[in-house]
Amino acid sequence: MIADHKPFPPIVNTTTFDAHRAGPLIVPLTLIAALTGSLDYPRSRITLVSKIGAIGLTAHQAAQLRDQLDQAIAEVLASCPEMATPDEIEALPRSMPRG
């Protein structure tokens, strides 16, 4: 049986680090929901996918991540209100300085 997957629109320009490069990569991040289970990973239904790899989460793990993201966002905005500006207003650079 092939799993039914629902991809969501990519989040562009995320800053990603892998284990072998000196600096970050600016790549899209895609969220995919598996609407049917896999025999190998029956509970992993929510996947974050980028150029360097993927992270599979259960629905409960994804809810925990959501709650932690909400708290982290609130703390970032409290410490730096300028971060409330939408990303489209202040575009991220295509490459990052190294060193």
For residue 51, give the nearest of 8, 18, 95 by alpha carbon.
18
Q: Over the stretch 8-30, which tens digit does the pLDDT of each residue have?
A: 999 998 988 888 877 788 899 99
Residue 11, Cβ density class (10 Å: 0-12 exposed, 13-18 middle, ≥19 buried): middle
pLDDT at 96: 53
28: amino acid identity, one letter: P
State the average pLDDT for the chain: 86
* Contact partners, residue 77, CB within 8 Å, separation at least 6: 83, 84
Confidence of residue 89 (pLDDT cuts 50, 70, 90): low
pLDDT at 25: 87
Q: What distance in Å separates the CA atoms of residue 59 and residue 44, rounded to the nearest whole number? A: 7
Confidence of residue 61 (pLDDT cuts 50, 70, 90): very high
Q: pTM for this structure?
A: 0.78
* Rounded (5°) CA angle 92-96-99: 150
